[in-house]
Amino acid sequence: MFNFNDNRKSIKEITTMFQEGSLIVDDTYQRRSVWSEKDKIRLVETVLLRLIIPVLFFWKADTDPETGLSTTHIVDGQQRIKAICSFANNEFKLKPQCLLDDSAKEKYANKYFRDLDVEDKKAFWNYQLMVIDIDPAATRTDIITMFNRLNLTDYSLNDQEKRNSMSGEFAALARELSDSPIWDDKHLFTTKDIKRMKDVEFCASLILLYRKGIIDQTDQSALNQAYEEYQDDYKDAEKDKEAILSAIDVVQQFFITDDVTKFLRKKTQLYTLFSVVFYMQRNDIMLKEEFKNNLQRFVELYSVFSNDMEFAELLGEEKVLFDWLKKYKLASSEGLNKHTNRMIRFNVMKDFLFQVSEERCAAEQELFKKMKEIGNPPTEDLVE
């Protein structure tokens, strides 16, 4: 067991600690908590109205024996502190539609911190936050257990959030890859996804895809094993990182239309494209403009295809393409993470991207026309 001490710190004290780096967030065990702008505004409103906000939990994790300077972890309350610092730095204004109190709307609507009057600024800096200081003698394991228990009232931890509590190079690389701009730029993960660390989980699966090729991931065992296996001994971490970042650069070049972007926002399809791009890396295949156009045509065909369609008269390239689409659709409908279905999607997408000829292009156009006609049959004009 370890002790707790409760005290108070002013916003000025806490923001100074946070900005100087003596107060930090240890994201190696914390799950994501993504606040909307509305959440931030309402917290600041609470502060300006001199009301109470929930208690913060700090843990003095380390002290430099020579200088006496300490590093304190925010065990609980990171988003509150980030929101307060962000407002103090004039990064958002108090939009009236987000404020709850009528008097706050009248006094603070559309104001940045810089727009507050002198007395409100002083009161803001001097506002006292309630802080629970955890005994420095507590271990990291103690802190992780406490963090998980503090958050159980919200919802229980998912598999990835549990894995995130494990330190190590594999975990660190998955988190680093999740910070790549592509995920935000293309809106590939929702706010809820990010909060539940689905982006980190996807990046961890990409590491496995690069290292082991296409594998079965119908359960969590492969990822759990990787987090344990590469916790202390991951000699290829830097090499793998460079290769995966290179693949990400290639993948983002395929987002050439809204339809392709919509298609790739489905993680099943995004994973499949990554499997093709890793294949390109292994075989020294450079990205060509025609590959991007081929994916676009595949997406167009896929968007009008239905498993209910039947074409008795299809021959040659048209039949080949139709059969490919049918296989891909079935492999994208159930058992998404089965090895067999992943391989089907990989082979079909790869063949669509690379095996192109004039006959194939003509067949694609004709098949697209036929499928679209079935999906949207012409209606006869009504006769009066």
Q: Could you please report the per-residue DSSP string of 286-321?
A: PP-HHHHHHHHHHHHHHHH--TT---TT--HHHHHH
Which of 134, 154, 174 lies at the terminal end of a domain, its last residue?
154
Phi, psi (5° rounding) for residue 58?
-115, 150
Q: Is residue 217 part of a domain?
A: no
Cα(150)–Cα(134) distance, integer angstroms: 13
Q: Is residue 128 part of a domain?
A: yes
Start-to-end CA distance of the chain, whole Å, equals 87
Cα(115)–Cα(108) distance, integer angstroms: 9
Q: Are residues 130 and 5 in the same domain?
A: yes
Output the pLDDT for position 186. Answer: 94
User: Across the strands, what pairs with 73?
Assistant: 24, 59
Judged on CB neighbours under 10 Å (0-12, 13-18, 19+), 100 is: exposed
Q: Is residue 173 part of a domain?
A: no
Output the pLDDT for position 351. Answer: 92
Q: Are residues 149 and 261 in the same domain?
A: no
Output the pLDDT for position 382. Answer: 32
Phi, psi (5° rounding) for residue 73?
-95, 140
Cα(171)–Cα(47) distance, integer angstroms: 36
Q: Is residue 174 part of a domain?
A: no
Output the pLDDT for position 381. Answer: 37
Q: Are residues 270 and 125 in the same domain?
A: no
User: Across the strands, what pairs with 133?
Assistant: 5, 58
Domain count for the chain: 2
Q: Are residues 283 and 140 in the same domain?
A: no
Q: Are residues 147 and 261 in the same domain?
A: no
336 lies in which domain range?
A: 253-375
Q: Is residue 324 part of a domain?
A: yes
Q: Is residue 50 part of a domain?
A: yes
Q: Are residues 275 and 129 in the same domain?
A: no
Output the pLDDT for position 28. Answer: 67
Rounding to the nearest 10 degrees, give the CA dihedral for residues 291, 292, 294, 295: 120
Cα(260)–Cα(273) distance, integer angstroms: 11
Which of 154, 177, 202 lies at the terminal end of a domain, its last residue?
154
Cα(192)–Cα(189) distance, integer angstroms: 8
Q: Are residues 115 and 258 in the same domain?
A: no
Q: Is residue 238 part of a domain?
A: no
Q: Are residues 7 and 134 in the same domain?
A: yes
Per-residue pLDDT tens, the chain, 384 aa: give them.
Answer: 566 777 889 999 999 999 988 998 877 666 566 788 899 999 999 999 998 888 898 888 887 777 778 888 888 888 899 999 999 999 999 999 999 899 999 999 999 999 999 999 999 999 999 998 888 888 777 777 777 666 654 445 566 766 665 667 898 899 899 999 999 999 999 888 887 789 999 999 999 999 999 999 988 889 988 888 888 789 999 999 999 999 999 999 999 999 999 999 999 999 999 999 999 999 999 999 999 999 999 999 999 988 888 777 777 888 889 999 999 999 999 889 999 999 999 999 999 999 878 888 888 898 998 888 886 644 443 332
Q: Is residue 38 part of a domain?
A: yes
The amino acid at residue 170 is F
Which of 95, 123, 154 lies at the terminal end of a domain, its last residue?
154
